[in-house]
């Protein structure tokens, strides 16, 4: 991942473990992400980075989302893009 948004990340220099994976650590990480001003950028970059990857090589909390949640978001966005692509053009009256 890259991007200047990282400089504003709420997790910079923090002590919360975003990669532990247990329930308690996950909830602590989510709380930090919930207050993060760049959570959308973080989530978007991670989804782009992981696109098409198996869940077994995804880890960590990004943008407040677990690996499984990021897969769901990725799939939902793909479906939305597909629907948008199939939408008939608007006819102006």
Interface ranges with ligand SF4 (CB under 6 A): 9-11, 18, 32-33, 36, 38-39, 42, 61-64
Burial class (CB in 10 A: 0-12, 13-18, 19+), 63: buried
What residues contact residue 33 under an 8 Å CB cut-off, 6+ apart? Answer: 10, 11, 39, 42, 61, 62, 63, 64
For residues 7 and 84, which CB has a smaller minimum distance to ligand SF4 in the complex? 7
For residues 9 and 71, which CB has a smaller minimum distance to ligand SF4 in the complex? 9
Q: CB of residue 92 vs ligand SF4: minimum separation in angstroms? A: 41
8-state DSSP, 4: G
Q: CB of residue 57 vs ligand SF4: minimum separation in angstroms? A: 18
């Amino acid at each position: 991942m890259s991007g200047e948004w990282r400089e504003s990340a709420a997790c910079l220099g923090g002590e919360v473990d975003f990669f532990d994976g247990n329930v308690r650590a996950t909830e602590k990480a989510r709380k930090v992400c919930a207050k993060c001003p760049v959570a959308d950028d973080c989530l978007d970059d991670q989804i782009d980075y992981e696109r098409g990857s198996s869940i077994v090589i995804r880890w960590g909390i990004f943008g407040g989302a677990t690996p499984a949640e990021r897969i769901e978001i990725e799939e939902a966005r793909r479906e939305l893009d597909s629907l948008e692509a199939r939408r008939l053009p608007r006819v102006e009256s």
